[in-house]
Amino acid sequence: MAEKILHLETVEPLDLYGAKCSRLDILKRAFPKIQIVARGHDVKVLGDEQQIADFEDKFRQVVHFLDTFNRLSDDDLVQILNNQQQHQSDVPDDLIVFGNNGRAIRARSANQQRMVDAVAQSDMLFALGPAGSGKTYTAIALAVRALRNREVRRIVLSRPAVEAGERLGFLPGDLKEKIDPYLQPLYDALNDMIPAKKLESHLEEGVIQIAPLAFMRGRTLDNAFVILDEAQNTTLPQMKMFLTRMGMNSKFIITGDMTQIDLPRTQDSGLVQAIRLLKKIDGISIVELDESDIVRHRLVKEIVKAFDKGLKD
């Protein structure tokens, strides 16, 4: 009797096996002549060598489907076993990544698609635009895609905690509880794209790191997809510090809204100055989004227009 152990590296066991191991039971019924024993991330298979090889082929297809489409139902599994699974041709052309429950996260405007194209061509991207234009959400989707495709080993997300002057001691709780309110929009986006248990594991293991800008000092970020959000609230020294963290095989996206600078009036935005200094460097792209890209409630677009008009009048 032959034996083989298959190890799950890219998917969570619960997502594969199903509630009460319903999908594991389907696999067992499909291969009644072999013994299948699942223990956490390992699946032991015992039986005839050819039967094991046939099972391994289908098992790899199932894992690939779950890893690609970020979903797997009992029906999906049955279709895969019957050679009726969803093919790559079914993937939307404008897809960035599949979020939770297989929801397709795609570029929803021409400028968001420009962000997607720019990341493919450049290692550093400045994405500028008003609230609701999707710059942060698109950036995080691109980071999740890079991690899922194993193009990078980790995601690093940062924001300047300017509202507290990066001095968070007056807030209640431990360090994480003090910081999290400023980083919640980043968590919200990640929760749309990565299953809760897997996200928790990534955060615990440091595969995904979320920290205020001040915590970036002294680091070199290799093999990473790094996003600085709300960058209009950085000073020039902070911006220089952040940009020079860039290591080998890394992608950087810097997002900001020039109309929402919260720095003291005596300080200039580091984002404004960085754009001026770096715009002609090969390998750095700049994408400007506007009110036409806003994908929130219809009133947000009208609010942005009204404020812009009022500031110009």
Hey, which residues does 42 pair with through a beta bridge? 7, 39
Question: Of the given ranges (81-90, 96-105, 135-144), which has the lowest mean pLDDT?
Answer: 81-90
CB-based contacts of 8: which residues, under 8 Å, 6+ apart? 16, 41, 42, 43, 63
Q: How far apart are CA 311 and CA 313, in angstroms?
A: 6
The ranges assigned to domains in the chain are 2-81, 95-312
Whole-angstrom Cα distance, residue 191 to residue 150?
Answer: 20
- Across the range 170-198, mean pLDDT stands at 76
Task: Give the pLDDT confidence score for residue 195 in this predicted structure.
Answer: 87
CATH 3.30.1370.10 fits domain 2-81: yes
What is residue 164's predicted lDDT score, i.e. its pLDDT? Answer: 44
239 or 178, which is more confident? 239
For residue 140, which of 177, 201, 192 has the smallest C-alpha distance?
A: 192
Band the pLDDT of 90: cuts 50, 70, 90.
Answer: low
Residue 247 banded pLDDT, cuts 50, 70, 90: very high
Give the model confidence (pLDDT) of 200-217 as tens digits: 989 999 999 988 888 898
Which of residues 142 and 259 earns the better pLDDT score? 142
Provide, rounded to the nearest whole percent, the portion of the chain with pLDDT above 90.
53
Question: Is the pLDDT assigned to residue 71 strictly greater than 70?
Answer: yes
Read off the pTM: 0.81
| Model confidence band, residue 182 (pLDDT cutoffs 50, 70, 90) | confident
pLDDT band at 165 (very low <50, low <70, confident <90, very high): very low
Residue 168 clears pLDDT 60, i.e. is over it: no
pLDDT in tens, 118-162: 999 999 999 999 888 999 999 999 999 999 989 999 999 998 875
> Which residue would you say has higher pLDDT here, 232 or 166?
232
Half-sphere exposure of 309 (CA within 13 A, CB side): 7
pLDDT: which is higher, 170 or 101:
101
pLDDT: which is higher, 171 or 213: 213
| pLDDT at position 144 | 96
The answer to whether the CB of 181 falls within 8 A of the CB of 160 is: no
CATH architecture of 95-312: 3-Layer(aba) Sandwich (3.40)
Residue 304, pLDDT above cutoff 80: no
Confidence (pLDDT) at 20: 85
